[in-house]
Structure 1
Amino acid sequence: MPRPRSLTPDRIASAALTVIDRDGLAGFTMRAVATELSMSAMALYRYVDDRGELERLVVEGVLDRIDTDPPDPELPWADRVTIMVGRMRAAVAAHPAIASLVPVHRHRSRAVLRWTETVLGLLTEAGLTGQRRVVALRGLLSYLLGAIQLEHLGPLAGPGTAVLAELAPEAFPYLADTARTARHISPDAEFDGGLALFLRGLADPPRPRPG
């Protein structure tokens, strides 16, 4: 195959994302991306070291579209954090197959660093500093990244829920009932409800550990 005249990181990331959107991560290979770029796999290695570098380019390309400017300062801090979290969720939702790549490569993403800096500013304005701010940020990221993956890779109301809903009530009364209820909860309601519970907890003073 002829070598492209101009092959920039953005063009490589775009081709890789096209492959992922079309074929999923199972079809995401150096050869598939090279074919998308009309070049040989060996030629692609002149531009990127391995699949891991391709993944990082894709994650950066998707998340770089996030608006990291602080939301309206007139809003309550929890609403502002909710908006920032929603921006990240929306960016990943546009390309759900990358959901599992975001936690792996987030530390090297300039877009995530900018997003995190804005969120830390909002947490600071809410009075969270020092250790509480560390715990708040990590808890927020754990919820956000975990919920995104569950939403796209194993949703609460997904096919697996039907199996759980058929469990014997006498053996799993709470699990079976919860699974049946989950069928009627939308992804937005599930995500927003969990986030609201988390943010409400941040507003409460920390409690001593039992025992």
Structure 2
Amino acid sequence: MPRPRSLTQEQLASAALAVIDRDALAGLSMRAVAQELGMSTMGLYRYVDDREELERLVVELVLSAVDTEPPDRDASWRERIEVMARRLRDTVGAHPAVVPLTITHRHRSLGVLRWSETVLGVLTEAGIEGERRVVALRGLLSYVIGAIQLEHLGSLSGPGTVAISQLPPADFPHMAETARHARNVGPDQEFLGGLAMLLDGLGA
């Protein structure tokens, strides 16, 4: 008879997330998670089939922590969307190495489905419906996920920006000048400024 299960999915996901937070996404493996749990690699296969299943559990663990309650209805639709975008950014941004996994596994996550449902409700109340609402939701998701990646994996204060600012002005005048200005732009200014431009485009 099979041995009874003694680990929950949350415990498995927490162990996998600990590996990712410590060793980045490249460090995630069945062996690494098994070591984190103090068990054999073969023992871990009693609970999950492969690394892909671990990835799905991690994504659900992270995204389930996003607050999906509708924001204050007295606020404007733009303010409510900003609240939802901030919630997603803050929660996922606490584990930036997980961001690529959210792109791959978001469709299976109840957390992101609930977040999207709340955002769609706000957009609907703002008069954004049909195909425009489809594009609006996809645009918001793409922006927030992309912004998190840029903030944590390629920030404006990082060496990449410095290198671009030192490009020959004769060859890259706009890139070099923009990079020099970029060094003075903080993460919140970058995120909220870009979000404001996106919401301006919706024009509800």
Superposed pair shares fold, TM > 0.5: yes
Instruction: Report the equivalent of 1:207.
Output: none
Deviations 1:3-43 (A, max 9, x none): 99611100000111111111111221110100111111111
Q: CA deviation at 1:49?
A: 1.1
User: 1:152: how far off?
Assistant: 1.4
Q: Which amino acid aligns with 1:179?
A: A
1:4/1:94 CA distance change after superposition, 3 Å: farther
The alignment's TM-score, normalised by the length of structure 1, stands at: 0.92
Query: Matches of 1:93 and 1:135 in 2, distance apart?
Result: 24
SS at match of 2:175: helix
Deviation at 1:200, TM superposition (A): 1.0
What is the CA–CA distance in structure 2 between the aligned matches of 1:94 and 1:139, rounded to whole Å?
A: 22
Go from structure 1 to structure 2 and tell me whether the alpha carbon gap of 1:159 and 1:4 turns closer, same or farther (over 3 Å shift): farther
Query: Which of 44-53 and 80-89 deviates more?
Result: 44-53
Q: 1:199 matched to which residue of 2?
A: 199
Instruction: Tell me which residue corresponds to 1:80.
Output: 80
Q: Give identity over the alignment, percent.
A: 64
**Partner residue in 1 for 2:34:** 34
Matched, 1:186 2:186: yes
CA distance in 2, matches of 1:73, 1:139: 23
| Corresponding pairs, count | 202
Which consecutive residues of structure 2, in runs of 5 or more, have no partner in the other structure?
A: none
* 1:177 shift after superposition: 0.4
Q: Distance in 2 between matches of 1:92 and 1:116?
A: 15
User: 5 Å matches for 1:1-211?
Assistant: 6-203=6-203
Amino acid at match of 1:114: R
* TM-score of the aligned structures, taking structure 2 as reference length: 0.95
